[in-house]
Structure 1
Amino acid sequence: MVNEDRDKLGKRAVYVAIAGNLFLTIFNVAVGIMAGSYALISEGAHTLTDITTSIIAYIGFKIGSKPADEEHPLGHGRAEAIAGLLIVIFLAIVAYEIISGAVDRLFFGGTTTIPEPLAAVMAFIGVFTHFSLSQYIIKLGERVNSPAIIADGKHQRVDIFASLAILIGILIAQYGYPQLDPFIGFVIGLLILKTAFDVALDNMNNIMGKVPSPELVDKIVEVSNSVNKVCGTHDVRVNYLGSYATVTLHVELPPDMDLDESHKIVHLVQDKIVDEIDVVHGATVHACPAGLKYDHDQQIDE
């Protein structure tokens, strides 16, 4: 994908997320106060942080899209994973605030009231809006292969279940169980913590060098083997750098091939992999004589 197109899609994801979450923040808090729903006010506070995390995601996306330079010869891609980890911090803080407030209302004499039916209407609107937002942002994130934007979309996704839980809690509270409202707020806090853990795990794996998907390895082997005179491909290693990856691999060439020709084929393989697999931005290929079996890590006698 051309960098210009990728940047436009990244901006679009952020603008849509901010607009949608600003709408939900204002109306969740306003309706929560008017209708007396702690869970709805809690969700409004959480939605406000969604705006901040969307901005963080875009900053990480922009930095990660910068080309390689002298100080960063492999590019800046891991900035996106770092942005994802910053989003985790915001999630954890919000979860703590919501859980502590709910516990106070449930066990330490905090005020518990029966929410007005208006709160249920707002919760229903929240379910639909959060579903649309999260699906759209995650799809855009996957399209541009951005860990930061995908993390933001997953962050938004938890709000679907939060709004649904609020809706159920408010409806049940109408039948004389107001304690369910802060209890639902407590459940929302736990859901946010779970999302924080999942997002942290995804981005830590990206930074620390996760195992590539079998589909990606198979595609690399397929592209490499499609080059004329390549007899086989093995020892494929993928190094993730945020939204993209670099690859090292060994190709098997005819034993009687001269050095000049093998050098040309190695470069053909490298160029073909980078051209045909979007996620791969660089490839290093080692040539081996076909049919020769040995451990590449062994010491070779001089």
Structure 2
Amino acid sequence: MLQDNRSAVRKILLITLGLNLLVMVLKAVVGLVTGSLSLQADALHSVTDSANNILGLIANRFASPHPDRRHPYGHQKFEAVGALGIAAFLGIACFEILQGAISRIFQGISPVAISVPELSILLLVLGINIFVAFYERRVGKQVNSPILLADAQHTMSDVWITITVLAGLIGIWQANTLNLPQLQWLDVVLAFPVALLVFRSGWKVLQENLPWLVDEMAIAPEAIYDLVMTVPGVVNCHEIASRGVLGRQVFIEMHAIVNAVDVESAHAITEEIENRLTERFSPVRILIHVEPPDYKSDRISFTSDAN
């Protein structure tokens, strides 16, 4: 049975939006005060965090799991579209970070001045990011929300980015103390792994959500076949197709040959098929085309052969 968890998702997105705005402001202020390129890039990444939350709220508004006249298969793909928007924001952030780092290399290194209070603020920012990432992921798994899971993945990348930037700034702080100006290059050098981490997060979000939008197979047809063939009265099943995301919503279609003498008996057999598939793969919607007992087919599913 489908559950509409949009109110829970909306609540989490609003909470994380407020926290991400706070993190963004703190990073931007410290980045501008210290002149740190890597921290300014991290602040830019946090801008995408807030934009992602807003995008998620918009997608959540339209992502009802319940069908209607215009959307008989529900609206959950809106959440996947929102997750792809997050991937796009991450790509933009990656480009901006790399552009800033390369520009700084050609224009020359500007000294970065960092102090203990500013490092303390960044530790606070790191704590907030860790809380947001684990909180979103826990609730996302509970309510099967792709937008929350994607945003948690995004925020987790922010955690590693902040750790990387913080380590570099600690090195620069020590460089100023020990009079080692060459360590100022740490700020620019660390901007590159930050960009790679951002790109990796976007790629992972893309991989997790694109199969849903292109109707990639959700369940191996052999697994469905083996389960259906355990139902008494089933002679054969073939032309099996599935789409969706297991654990969120799956649609299954098949042709079944049943040993039944009347419509009532055939109906009882298909009901048992649906019950067993629902028990194994819920939530699922199933369409079964019943064929006569003398019909023959050995094609379990579809192939990529051109016809």
TM-score, scaled relative to structure 2: 0.80
Whether the 8 Å CA contact 2:133–2:152 is kept in 1: the answer is yes
Contact persistence 2:10–2:60 (CA under 8 A): no
Structure 1 residue 291, shift from structure 2 partner: 10
Q: How does 1:206-245 map to 2 (within 5 A)?
A: 206-212=212-218, 218=223, 224=228, 229-230=233-234, 236-240=240-244, 243-245=248-250
Superposed, 1:129-144 pairs within 5 Å as 129-144=128-143
Describe the superposition over 1:11-65 as per-residue Cα deviations: whole angstroms up to 9, x where unpaired.
2320232122122112212223334433223212221221111121232233121
Could you tell me which residue of structure 1 aligns to residue 184 of structure 2? 178
Contact 1:61 1:149 in 2 (8 A): no
Pairwise CA distance, 1:262: 0.7
Q: Secondary structure at the match of 2:184?
A: coil
Q: Secondary structure at the match of 1:84?
A: helix
What residue is the counterpart of 2:59 in the other structure? 60
2:203 is the counterpart of 1:200: no
Equivalent position to 1:294, from 287, 294, 297: 297
Distance 1:249 1:268 in 2: 14
Residue identity (%) = 23
Distance 2:157 2:88 in 1: 16
For 2:305, the equivalent position in structure 1 comes to none
* CA contact 2:35–2:110 (8 Å) conserved in 1: no
Structure 1 residues 233 and 167: CA distance shift in structure 2, 3 A? farther
Q: Which residue of 2 aligns with 1:249?
A: 254
Query: For 1:58 and 1:221, how far apart are their aligned partners in 2?
Result: 39
Give, in angstroms, the shift of residue 182 of structure 1. 2.2
The CA distance in 2 between the partners of 1:122 and 1:234, in whole Å, is 61
Secondary structure, counterpart of 1:161 in structure 2: helix
Moved more, 64-73 or 172-181: 64-73
Aligned to 1:97: 96
CA contact (8 A) 1:11 1:58 kept: yes
SS of alignment partner, residue 295 of structure 1: coil
- 2:154 corresponds in structure 1 to 155
Q: Is the 8 A contact 1:91 1:192 kept in 2?
A: yes
Q: Deviations over 1:129-186 (max 9, x none)?
A: 2222122212322322222222222111110110110121112222230111122223
Structure 2 residue matching 1:179: 3-state secondary structure: helix
Q: 1:163 to 1:96 in 2, by over 3 A?
A: same
Aligned runs of 1:33-112 on 2, under 5 Å? Answer: 33-65=32-64, 67-112=66-111
- In the alignment, does 2:286 pair up with 1:283? yes
1:69/1:236 Cα in 2 relative to 1: closer, same or farther (>3 Å)? same
Matched residue SS, 1:247? strand
The alignment's C-alpha RMSD in Å is 3.2
Classify 1:98/1:265 alpha carbon distance in 2 versus 1 (closer, same or farther; 3 Å).
same
Partner residue, 2:265: 261
- Contact 2:255–2:289 (8 Å) recurs in 1: yes
The letter of the residue matching 2:274 is Q
How far apart are the structure 2 equivalents of 1:172 and 1:29?
Answer: 20
Q: Distance in 1 between matches of 2:298 and 2:188?
A: 62
